[in-house]
Structure 1
Amino acid sequence: MPATRLSLRIIGIILLVITTGYAIWHFTSNEPLKVELVTVDRGVVEATVVNTRAGTIKACRRAKLSPQAGGQIVRLNIHEGDRVKQGQILLELWNIDLQAQYDLAKQQLATAENRQQEACILAENAQREYVRTQQLVEQGFVSAQRADDAHATAKANRAACAATAADVKRAQAQIAVSQANLDRMQLIAPFSGIVAQITGELGEYVTPSPPGIPTLPVVDLIDDSCLYVSAPMDEVDAPKIQVGQTARITLDALPDHVFDGTVRRIAPYVTEIEKQARTVDVEAEFTHPGQAAFLVGYSADIEAIIDQRQAVLRVPTQVIRQDNKVWVVDQNNQLEERTLETGLANWVYTEVLAGLTEGEQVVLSSSEGELAAGQPVTPKSPQP
């Protein structure tokens, strides 16, 4: 009898454990998982191409200027950050000797012009004298030899007048040479812009760059009225990009702004920085350049819009799993796995051609375990 009671007691304990375990499994397995859901809607889907490395804002015109000749800076009319106009003198080198040569050339020109005036007056007078002598010869008052002498004198004076005219032109040419030498001592702004950097101070000596030996420019001038972005695109994506395509430009310095742009140039060659990283430089200009104060050298990205479709059925790209499968929540709040037929896509949205209808809910994320078909779920608040 005691052995029978002990056996019955052991059997009862085993049954209690099994029953308790089943109850726990039953209630926990049917408890809905919390998942983050998104609703299938309609909107814009774009196919875009983005640069592989950071691009750079550049100026349409930027010149690193140096005087054509070497010399000592005697006049520096600018400071870094100054805005200058086209034709403005930026700096001037010592040129007293050249200025003296220029003044001498002007005096020589004045002398040559006076001599020309004298010679030409004599030539006119000699011509009139020859005409009068010829009339007297015809009337028989003077000999023909007198007329020949007058004619020779008139011709000689005309030749002297022509010679002095050549002297005037030579003096004018000498002035032009002297002026060119003076101009070489000045650095003139080729366009309007802002002075970015000055390498040199008043009294210092500057030297033009000899062939094959680069030296620092004296003035770095930037025309910041026209800016664009240059960025490297992967060679695989380059054939998709066309000049004139719409683009979006983003800047690291202004992360909360997106600027409209247009592709303006595609490099006709591939840049080989690394053997496994070949890129094509693409340039995009700002559609509205006055939207913000940009600095040349800002890092920037170009997102070229290859294709765009309006009001199409779409889902966030991250909900799509391998083989275009998604988890859909049915009317009973249970999971159903579906396979989608997709169209245009980017890293944000994917166009849905078949497999979903507008208004259905799909699982965006879940952190409470593996998902399975038929499993009950409940929505949770989306993560910020």
Structure 2
Amino acid sequence: MSQKSRRVVLPIVLIIIAGLGWVIYQAIQPAPAPPGGPRQPGSQQVAVQTASVTQATVRDMRTFSGTLIPWAQFVVAPKISGRLERLFVDVGDLVQRDQLVAQLEDAEFVQQVEQARAELAVARANLEEARSELDIAEKEFARIETLREQRVASLAELELSKSRLLAQQARKRVAEAQIEQRQAALRAAEVRLSYTQIRATWPANGEDRPRVVGERFVDQGTTLTANAQMISVLDISALRAVFHVSERDYARLQVGQSAQVSVDAFPGQQFEGRVARIAPVFREASRQARIELELFNPEGLMKPGMFVRAQLELDRAEEAVVVPSVALVRRDGQHALFAVEDDATVRLTVVRVGISENGVSQILEPEDLSGEVVILGQHLLEDGSSVRVVED
């Protein structure tokens, strides 16, 4: 055979061999299962792992992030201007209610008090003089009045004596008023002097817990104006955790609801809290509402400004039908799972999922779901596939 003939025959032989191989392959393959029905006996089994449908309590837990703020906070400031002579506390110091925290230079105010006291003493002396002269005027009027009855004194003398009496009575009233005026001036001077002693004051509210200095804004020797910030005082025996929620979660929150709070500074440690306030309005920009948690902080571990994560239970289902979350697949935009039948085949079942927690998911529909479901190997399955359950 010539070389040209070999080039023609060789491709033809190869084509014939390939065709025979395809025919043999088709002959040994099992018949496919009809659409929508189970595979025929003898079809290839898919190795899968399964888990049982069970009943359990599941909770819808949500975690929100926020910031800690002090339970109460205020800034200590002087009511008058002056030079800061002494500052008795610093950042981190405990402060009792009405404790003296700063002293302003007070020489000028001490002088004003002394002057007011001197003026009050003069006013009191004037009152004593007015009383003495009034006593003389009363006796003189009584004498003239007696002489008038005896027709010894004239009517003019009686009227002159009476006018002197009235004048002395008026002078006494003026002296008494001046004493009240000087007493008020003394009290005002003493109040201004007391303003040089700056105290940390807050309402008692039935408690007398110490507070702590959070920030210091001035140094000794600084000349301050009235209402200039000196220090901030915080109550951190309790704190507020502030975060914001969307409309979806807002309706499921209520005042008094418990929460578990954690901070990065103490990993693994949980702090108890409760919902204290729920804002009645949403922020227009974010469409979120402000939520405040109340946290007791007796040991002072948590500090204002810390980042917090608050976990709240928004819903709970008792004795719910649950499956491992890994059993769920998506088919045509819906949740589904493969339920294992008694004949070692699987049935693709569309389900409605409820609460998911810790790797399990609640199945709301169908309500009668039971048995075993596939948790590994779903990507190889179709409705009606034959399966072989293997252990982990």
TM-score, structure 1 length as denominator? 0.73
Structure 1 residue 194, shift from structure 2 partner: 0.8
C-alpha displacement of 1:221: 0.8
Instruction: Tell me the equivalent position of 1:212.
Output: none
| Residue among 207, 218, 221 paired with 1:203 | 221
1:77–1:90: 8 Å Cα contact kept in structure 2?
yes
What one-letter code is carried by the residue in structure 1 that aligns with 2:329?
A: R
Kept after mapping to 1: 8 A contact 2:63/2:312: yes
Change beyond 3 A, Cα 1:367–1:285 = farther
1:143–1:207 CA distance, 2 compared to 1 (3 A): closer
Aligned equivalent of 1:115, options 123, 126, 140? 126
Query: What aligned pairs does 1:8-47 form with structure 2 within 5 A after superposition?
Result: 30=45, 32-34=47-49, 37=51, 39-46=53-60
| Larger CA deviation: 192-201 vs 62-71 | 62-71
Q: Aligned partners of 2:117, 2:349: CA distance in 1, in Å? A: 93
* RMSD between aligned residues: 4.1
Aligned partner (choices 98, 107, 114) of residue 87 of structure 1: 98
Structure 2 counterpart of 1:147, one-letter code = L
Aligned to 1:224: 236
The aligned length equals: 347
Give the deviation of 1:56 after TM superposition. 0.8
Tell me, in whole angstroms, the C-alpha distance in 1 between the residues paired with 2:92 and 2:119.
Answer: 44
Gaps of 5+ in 2: 1-16, 30-41, 203-209
Please list every run of 5 or more consecutive structure 1 residues that lacks an aligned counterpart in the other structure: 1-9, 210-214
The answer to whether the 8 A contact 1:319-1:362 is kept is yes
Contact 2:356–2:362 (8 Å) recurs in 1: no
Alignment of 1:313 onto 2:329: no
Residues 177 and 157 of structure 1, relative CA distance in 2, 3 Å threshold: same
Q: Who is 2:291 aligned against?
A: 282
Change (3 A) 1:115 1:242: farther
| Whole-angstrom CA distance in 2 between matches of 1:38 and 1:128 | 118
Q: Supply the distance in 2 between the matched residues of 1:312 and 1:141 (Cα, whole angstroms).
A: 121
Of the candidates 256, 262, 277, which is equivalent to residue 264 of structure 1? 277
| Residue 222 of structure 1: how far off its partner (Å) | 0.5
Alignment of 1:299-310 (within 5 A): 299-310=307-318
Residue 255 of structure 1, CA deviation: 4.2
Greater radius of gyration (CA): 2
Which range moved further: 97-106 or 310-319? 310-319
Cα deviation for residue 270 of structure 1 reads 0.5
Percent of matched pairs sharing the same residue = 17
Contact 1:336-1:374 within 8 A present in 2 as well: no
**Contact 2:52–2:370 under 8 Å retained in 1:** no
| From 194, 212, 216, the counterpart of 1:194 | 212
1:60 to 49, 67, 71: 71
Rounded Cα–Cα distance in structure 1 between residues aligned with 2:388 and 2:72 = 64
1:376 match: secondary structure: strand
